[in-house]
Structure 1
Amino acid sequence: MKEKKAWALNGFIALILVLALFGAGTALFIQLNIIPGIVLLVIGFILITGITIVQPNKAYVVTFFGSYIGTIREPGFWFTLPLSARKSVSLRVRNFNSKTLKVNDIEGNPIEIAAVIVFKVVDTAKAIFDVDKYEQFVEIQSETALRHVASQYPYDTFENTVGYSLRANGEEIAKELAQELQQRLTLAGVEVSEARLTHLAYSTEIAGAMLQRQQANAILAARQIIVEGAVGLVEMAISRLEKENVVTLDEERKAAMINNLLVAIVSDRSAQPVINTGSLY
């Protein structure tokens, strides 16, 4: 099915015609011209069934004895084919908040994920005739697409690996989710405006262990930076001392100084200096 424009006439013209038929039929009926009067009244009642009012951001799908005639999109007062059935379809932008789904990421870790989908109907014929209850179709396909996208990526990348993760690449994941949803919902005449993750977390049974893993990785990364900085400071200190001839250090004393400086810089507690005031003898 593909949407097409239905035949429609200005409703006020049709209303004037219907009132004229009612007036003429009533006059003939009063003058005892019963049969012509009844015919005009019946025609008037038939024509009045074709009058419809279309609200803004709303459309009517018109069918006549099972055949699709077309769709009326323009808001206003219209007259279309009499005795036709008209089903309203909202053209407004709508939100769908998915349930919090429990899925496994690509590494097999159970996670909880949810998303909000912004969509609107762009083809009323497809929405009414190609799927059964397009709103329910949008919900089911949204949850299916969300499960599929979540299973293609890890929740987080703990090593310096190339690739996306659900936590660190929210924009890219949302774009891919919107694209997959659009492919699934084109059949229903629905356009996806936006898709965003609203909830992302490890499942409760592994949340504690994964939090400890994240903390450990953060500590290791911080320690690596501290060690790199400490080595640079020690190298600079010894180089300056030797360059300016402040003190001459043999290999044993140089090793002791390096050890003391690294302990003082790298330690997570403040160093307690011990001052050597000399020997008694």
Structure 2
Amino acid sequence: MTERKPVFLLNGFLGIVLVLAFAGVGIYYMVQETFVIAIPLLAIAVLLSTGITMVHPNQAVVMTFFGRYVGSIRRNGLWLTIPLTERKKISLRVRNFNSSTLKVNDLDGNPIEIAAVVVFRVTDSAKALFDVDDYQTYVEIQSETALRNIASQYPYDGFDREIYSLRGHTEEIAARLTENVQERLKVAGVEVLEARLTHLAYSTEIAAAMLQRQQAAAIVAARQTIVEGAVGMVEEAIAQLERKGVLPLDEERKANMINNLLVAIVSDRGAQPVINTGSLY
């Protein structure tokens, strides 16, 4: 594994002054036809000029000297460094990678469509350049691999189960995805700032069936809440009637009243009153 290390640096403007000084003196001796002094001075000027490089903000310059890594420059500005080195520039800016929409199976085996965005930046320019072939392609492939892995570990929806789900626990899934992607990309000297789902849906072949399942679960939950509320209302009504002694209730009348009240409260339609006017005989 290649580790980033600093390299010899000298102020670039001072380096330009040195280059001009050696060149000027060399030209002077060239005019005087003192070639023994002029040629070495001009050679030194040319050699020093190859070491001048400019580094922009949020940029790193990785340097190799005849195939050997000698160091990196991360300080922006004009610098004089080791002459005759090969220099490659790498951006350190924050970037986004939007994955394509992937079709995978969740923990329950249901086919789903999922996509994510990964926010990253290069922190170790030497690893990004030397330890992987193309770090941008590496980020894309490993991010999609991590997304597939996460999608297969969780169900799309928990359906009242005590389990994390892709739809119901977005923050936890995002944190888990960030950790997974970071673990895969550290070899490339890349830091993952954030990873979040941008698309999540059932595949078209089961979308209609799963929608019906969700609607049925919602109806059952709503009915359960209504019934629980209705039972409480009936208990309170019976208790008030008994406390105030408005109407003596035996067990049969109490059962009929409970039945009528529950039907009136729980029914989807408005209750239709029936008036008992007595029998014909």
Q: TM-score range by the shorter chain?
A: over 0.9
Matches within 5 A, 1:146-157: 146-157=147-158
**Which residue of the partner structure matches residue 209 of structure 2?**
209
Deviation at 1:35, TM superposition (A): 5.3
Separation in structure 2 between the aligned mates of residue 10 and residue 253 of structure 1, nearest angstrom: 101
User: 3-state DSSP class of the match of 2:23?
Assistant: helix
Calculate the aligned-residue CA RMSD, in Å: 1.5
User: 3-state DSSP class of the match of 2:103?
Assistant: strand
User: 3-state DSSP class of the match of 1:150?
Assistant: helix
Any stretches of 5+ residues in structure 2 without a counterpart? Answer: none
**Which residue of the partner structure matches residue 263 of structure 2?**
263
TM-score by length of 2: 0.95
Separation in structure 2 between the aligned mates of residue 241 and residue 20 of structure 1, nearest angstrom: 110
Deviation at 1:253, TM superposition (A): 2.6
The yes-or-no answer on 1:135 pairing with 2:139 is: no
Question: 1:165-198 CA distances to partner (integer Å, 9 max, x unpaired)?
Answer: 0001111111111111111111011111111111
Deviation at 1:42, TM superposition (A): 2.7
Deviation at 1:13, TM superposition (A): 1.4
User: 3-state DSSP class of the match of 1:234?
Assistant: helix
Letter in 1 for 2:16: L
Separation in structure 2 between the aligned mates of residue 111 and residue 194 of structure 1, nearest angstrom: 22
**Which residue of the partner structure matches residue 3 of structure 2?**
2
Q: State the number of aligned residues.
A: 280
Deviation at 1:271, TM superposition (A): 1.2
The yes-or-no answer on 1:31 pairing with 2:32 is: yes
Separation in structure 1 between the aligned mates of residue 30 and residue 266 of structure 2, nearest angstrom: 108
User: 3-state DSSP class of the match of 1:120?
Assistant: strand
The yes-or-no answer on 1:171 pairing with 2:171 is: yes
Separation in structure 2 between the aligned mates of residue 128 and residue 279 of structure 1, nearest angstrom: 98
Matches within 5 A, 1:1-281: 1-34=2-35, 36-158=37-159, 160-277=160-277
Letter in 2 for 1:49: T
Deviation at 1:73, TM superposition (A): 0.7
How many percent of aligned residue pairs carry the same amino acid?
A: 66
Question: 1:62-111 CA distances to partner (integer Å, 9 max, x unpaired)?
Answer: 11001111011111110111110011111111111111111100100011
TM-score by length of 1: 0.95
Any stretches of 5+ residues in structure 1 without a counterpart? Answer: none
